Amino acid sequence: MWLDKIEPYVSWVFRVALLAGVLSLAFILYSIFAGKLGTLAATPAQLKNLQLSVSIFHWSLVLMAICGILLALDVKALGIALVVGGLAVHFGAPWLLFGYVGKTQAILAIVATLRGTGFWLVVLGVLRAAFDLMQWIIELPDRKKQRADVGVGRKAEAAQVRIARDATMFSPCWKLPFCREVIRKQCPAFLAKKTCWKFGRGCYCDEEMISRIIKGESLEVIKAPTRLSKTGKAPCGRCHIYLEHQGFKYKMLSPLALPITGAVMFFVWPIWTQAFMAFSTAPFWDALSFDAKKLTPEAMVTDSKTSGGLPAEQVMQVATILFGVLIGFFVLIYVCKFIEWFVYKAKL
């Protein structure tokens, strides 16, 4: 696999990024507390060095996240961890630094960059979680088949292979693999032109019916009720034939998850934005604001200019979009779960 070939290089980049991140963070903390940049104005040289250190810290975290995704593809919780960590950095940095350190031009430079860092961590986390979700969707039919223990999932007969070559989600059980021709000719479900999962019994689950067919019993005897038909509890969820059929159905329906999610979010978005703004208080967003007009007078002594200032209204707007995207992702997850239930549990 190509990931195995690049793993040593990715691991090396991760270590370098980790070292650079630790050193840059140490310099940032030293500049804040030793240089008292939370209460005093920074000189142009101090501000330049600080901005460089924060940029190094930003790219170190982003590179570590990318390398971590490549090195830990089997860790399913990594995407959620990156999203949570990104949100913590995105909203926690201004709250912590503005609230407990100060609100100067130097702190503004740090917060503006860390806010972007948190945003990219969230993006990477969502992409990783989306990759895990797509992998889960693709592998679901195979995982369901692995649980099958009713019948024999052996290679189909040559004649049946030809019959099942063009099988679709609408194909009946006798046009799918594993259906044996010698049994099919006398199968009550086939004779009734009704799929075995709708008929209530079939050639894989009803051993009593199969025994009658093999013994050459009359058609009346074969059609007579059996112990399974009397219980009405055919084990379709563990049958090779049924799971093969539902696999076709799932592969046809699962691509609908994205447009369904898009439609849901389209109609929900106006309600979401109004509700989010209604439950959000202005002082909270003001505390997270990067508006340079609200800096302390001491911080404006420097002639250096720092970009990235945002008023509280824009911070709230970005937060609305960010959390809205996360809600959309969770809607996608539950739409996929509903399709799984619809196909494998409801048997529709």
Q: Which of 168, 200, 234 is at the close of a domain?
A: 234
Residue bearing tokens 């040593």:
8
**Does residue 240 lie within any of the structural domains?**
no
Per-residue model confidence as pLDDT tens digits over 257-290: 999 999 999 999 888 888 877 766 656 555 555 5
Using pLDDT thresholds of 50, 70 and 90, give the confidence band for residue 26: very high
% of the chain exceeding 70 in pLDDT: 82
CA nearest to 150, candidates 211, 239, 210, 227: 239
> Which two structure tokens, joined as six digits, stand for 246?
């539902």
Same domain, 132 and 189: no
What's the pTM?
0.73
Q: Chain-centre distance of CA 344, in angstroms?
A: 21
Same domain, 202 and 284: no
Per-residue model confidence as pLDDT tens digits over 210-261: 888 888 888 888 888 888 878 877 888 888 888 888 888 898 999 999 999 9
**Does residue 44 lie within any of the structural domains?**
yes
The H-or-E segment that residue 268 falls in is: helix 257-278
Length of the chain: 348
Contact 176, 243 (CB under 8 A): no
Q: Does position 14 have pLDDT exceeding 90, yes or no?
A: yes
Using pLDDT thresholds of 50, 70 and 90, give the confidence band for residue 298: very low
- Parent domain of 74: 2-146+254-345
- pLDDT averaged over the chain? 81
**Does residue 153 lie within any of the structural domains?**
no
Contact 343, 246 (CB under 8 A): yes
Question: What amino acid occupies position 309?
Answer: G
Using pLDDT thresholds of 50, 70 and 90, give the confidence band for residue 299: very low
Same domain, 110 and 221: no
Q: What's the total number of domains in the chain? A: 2
**Does residue 326 lie within any of the structural domains?**
yes
Q: How far apart are CA 224 and CA 216, in angstroms?
A: 14
Same domain, 72 and 192: no
Contact 206, 229 (CB under 8 A): yes
